[in-house]
Structure 1
């Protein structure tokens, strides 16, 4: 077991409620696209051990365009499910028949590979059954309505022309794409968009947690054709979703209550429990880790190896690697926040060089603030077969992008220099910081007779103002001038590290708990428990309305979200 520097002493964790979610990493057919494997795919070892990490179908753009249909529907599949337990291999898993919402009848949706300057067109078809009344909280009764968010992409958030939408999620809970309806998305990827790993998932207020928890998500990889960082065909590229599943006794996650109250599974990787990854001695692989869990962090450690991270949330580091290993896995001080952990919505891109010593190693999820347990074994890494001498990519070859240069004090001042202090809070409905009275016709909390999250308001707002949930904030927006540069500080009033995420624009993090840090770019950043983070943003290129919210999606569904309106 990896010892911790007692992160709970610095950042006390909440008592953990039971949490959620499911996936399976097998993909579906789509038309009008080129279907190619990721770079370097093929057998890793030659001593007979089977590599059991499920692989995606990959859809790749052709002639500057990728076009596909994405069907929201139920599917039945048997998955190996284990409850969280003491770290052991093999763990105790039970084959479980599941009946869950999915994209295209498989888990998860295809990985989409597009180049800078390409156009991505997705027709979202809602083939889920009609909504049913599940609770007295009205806005939670639309679990089969949906929409689609493109997490981390710097693209237009508006309805760009009649009936054609960009990264549009400004829907009311009773709106969105209703069962039996469709929505056409069209994303023009900027020619200078940074390369890297992104993902897509539903984002309808009130139903996002249950749908993402069911496995409705897929990856997006943006290629820079001039990138020289990983060019060897011998380096295998792997997209790995890390996820937890919450199933009721029938193997389903139908309601919002199911997605937060059903027992929480151990981590799955691409839908598999403790899969085997086979590598040859000396082999190099390129892993994109995506935390699609709704609540828990994933803090990876690979026995007797160092994972060399080169990008966070699709943002490449400035010509350097960040080493990730047992020695630094528990560093959560302000200067190191958030350590190596992936919080919900985060992604790490890493290069892994297998040991020259054949043997069995274990990939572990070790302790981080808000972890459910101290450690889980999530995969077995078998190093076997004929040695190879694949050279490591050089950090000096990592690309630089003009839009991700440092935001200096001078640039901030020259573009308005506005500062905002905002709050994320889980509070009792009677707390004086909550606006009273509740506006007529709005549901802000679950009544006590329904027995889950009762009398609790999940709210956001400005420091010094009364706090409200999103149910009331469709008309309470942060208005920002197009091309402004601003500095925001997000405060948490709770012991849980709320993962802050804003759509469309990345964040340049400059301070944690008021103290300067080595700045970095991200699109999802956990707020230290009972603390704050400060970041700067360029509101460039796109006007329109989009949202910022907690990426613990049950918190977002309960109201921890606000609108931003960028105006010319």
Structure 2
């Protein structure tokens, strides 16, 4: 097997030349069918058998796609409960087929579908969404904490996009995320969003989901999310029309025996399932021998990491959070998938909020292979998440050269000189889950403030404070009047070091402006760009772990947030305001 096609599958050839620049395979759709809100069937619904009758069905669901028309998508997005039959497999199973059962569930969704539409735009386009909240009224009695009693109020975040966070004109909102829990878009209400992508916006994979403090966990867990694909007028990294593109959400379900997850307590106190891909448990992906596909994984789970590896194949990882690497691929295979220690952190592990884009080339040897979620720090056991069947007529395809990956002026390295020339400000910020009596918190806790779940609520979250703050200060949760706000000057360049006081690798996510990560635990690394950064695990108050990044705060003033993308942590208070001022 050492010299088999299986072990060589997908390896780039040193002698390979760049492929020609064929038109994108959806050019005809863009030319003939571009309309505001035009919904087209998934491009992935093609025959992988080479024209012969396909012996194996491809069962990975894919969302419909909505394409811009004359630079605009203008749609309604309706949040409502929908009855669905969902697969539920208790825990991670490294076996195929895993044991699962179908559950009739009542879950919050967008537009009544299992998958919300994928929105396809070019840089410079405009996205208009009228968010309609048709969820039932809020239950004001389930929690002793008043801010948790708005589980059916909502709002809408455009995760990873570099866009205006403000109310851009009366009644029309950008990526507006500073609602209080009792505000937002209440049941029965609407909100108009208008997102104007800059003409120089990077291409790649982004997503949209709710983000109202106190209700985010259950709404995302239920499936209220969808993808955004941004292209550019230059068609950067323009892949051959023969390369099939798949958008794959990965998450777990936490459901009661009655098939519900209506609030934060139910989420925290119920067992979770194995991973599902686009809502399907262990779906089948069909490829032809030698075929190359382009997979965008989005970790929409609210807590667990996802670390993909495909048996006897190499995945050629080229972008994190929509940001391409410096004209090279990173290999993901059985030998590299566990490499997360020290300066390698986090390797190819995706924490909640992360998006990884990669090319996969099927083996020239027909057969069945398994896509697995490898064991990762704070993850569950290794599990099989999909079956990959390689069959049909072979195809000859060459991986595109990584030297074709684009370089963007807005994402050039942030040097020591640039930092110094633009203010040179540094910040040290702490993320920590602490007992309510911890001396690291403001003590005594101010009377009347809701810092922690009381024991009388009989919930597993009782007595823990999910807190943040600047180094050298006492910590507090977001819902406190004492919570920190990070005030930043427009066009400043800053360096932040984030400290983790817990064993869990809190995934730090900041809105609007991406981060240039330069250090892990104080050691220099090969820098990369991201918008969601898991902090190294196994921190403690005595010996915190850390990540250091730099950011350019360009283009937009206004208030937005950073937070832990383990969404129960965010809902409980691990979040801060950022305000960019001119």
Match of 2:18 in 1: none
Match of 1:321 in 2: 329
Distance 1:277 1:493, change over 3 A: same
Match of 1:24 in 2: none
Match of 1:241 in 2: 249
Q: Which of 531, 547, 555 is the equivalent residue of 2:561?
A: 547
Q: Number of paired residues?
A: 538
Alpha-carbon distance in structure 1 between the residues aligned to 2:573 and 2:114: 28
Q: Which of 512, 529, 537 is the equivalent residue of 1:504?
A: 512
Distance 1:551 1:473, change over 3 A: farther
Match of 2:411 in 1: 404
Runs of 4+ in structure 1 deviating by more than 3 angstroms, as ranges, are 36-41, 473-476
Tell me, what secondary structure is at the counterpart of 2:372?
A: strand
Once superposed, what is the RMSD of the aligned Cα atoms?
Answer: 1.3
CA apart distance, 1:247: 0.3
Out of 122-131 and 431-440, give the one that drifted further: 431-440
What are the superposed Cα offsets for residues 348-405 of structure 1, whole Å, 9 maximum, x if unpaired?
01111111000000000011100022x0000000000011112222211111110000
Aligned ranges for residues 110-509 of structure 1 at < 5 Å? Answer: 110-132=117-139, 133-373=141-381, 375-451=382-458, 452-472=460-480, 476-509=484-517
Q: Is the contact between residue 244 and residue 265 of structure 1 (CA under 8 Å) also seen in structure 2?
A: yes
Q: Is the contact between residue 40 and residue 237 of structure 1 (CA under 8 Å) also seen in structure 2?
A: yes
Alpha-carbon distance in structure 1 between the residues aligned to 2:481 and 2:446: 11
CA apart distance, 1:474: 8.0
Distance 1:38 1:412, change over 3 A: farther
CA apart distance, 1:99: 0.4
TM-score (norm. length: structure 1): 0.93
Tell me, what secondary structure is at the counterpart of 2:161?
A: coil
The answer to whether 1:44 aligns with 2:27 is no
Distance 1:362 1:476, change over 3 A: same
Structure 1 spans left out of the alignment, 5+ residues: 1-29
CA apart distance, 1:449: 2.0
CA apart distance, 1:476: 3.3
Match of 2:104 in 1: 97
Alpha-carbon distance in structure 1 between the residues aligned to 2:241 and 2:57: 21
Alpha-carbon distance in structure 1 between the residues aligned to 2:330 and 2:461: 39
CA apart distance, 1:227: 2.4
Tell me, what secondary structure is at the counterpart of 2:505?
A: coil
Q: Is the contact between residue 41 and residue 236 of structure 1 (CA under 8 Å) also seen in structure 2?
A: no
CA apart distance, 1:38: 5.4
Alpha-carbon distance in structure 1 between the residues aligned to 2:111 and 2:48: 29
Q: Which of 512, 519, 525 is the equivalent residue of 1:517?
A: 525
Tell me, what secondary structure is at the counterpart of 1:557?
A: helix
Alpha-carbon distance in structure 2 between the residues aligned to 1:475 and 1:87: 43
Out of 388-397 and 552-561, give the one that drifted further: 388-397
Q: Is the contact between residue 134 and residue 141 of structure 1 (CA under 8 Å) also seen in structure 2?
A: yes
CA apart distance, 1:315: 0.1
Alpha-carbon distance in structure 2 between the residues aligned to 1:165 and 1:418: 30
Tell me, what secondary structure is at the counterpart of 1:470?
A: coil
What are the superposed Cα offsets for residues 495-544 of structure 1, whole Å, 9 maximum, x if unpaired?
00000000000000000000000000000010012100000000000000
Match of 1:35 in 2: 39
Alpha-carbon distance in structure 2 between the residues aligned to 1:436 and 1:333: 36
Match of 1:12 in 2: none
Alpha-carbon distance in structure 1 between the residues aligned to 2:296 and 2:45: 14
CA apart distance, 1:332: 1.2
Match of 2:23 in 1: none
Alpha-carbon distance in structure 1 between the residues aligned to 2:133 and 2:321: 28
Aligned ranges for residues 7-86 of structure 1 at < 5 Å? Answer: 32-37=36-41, 41-45=45-49, 46-86=53-93
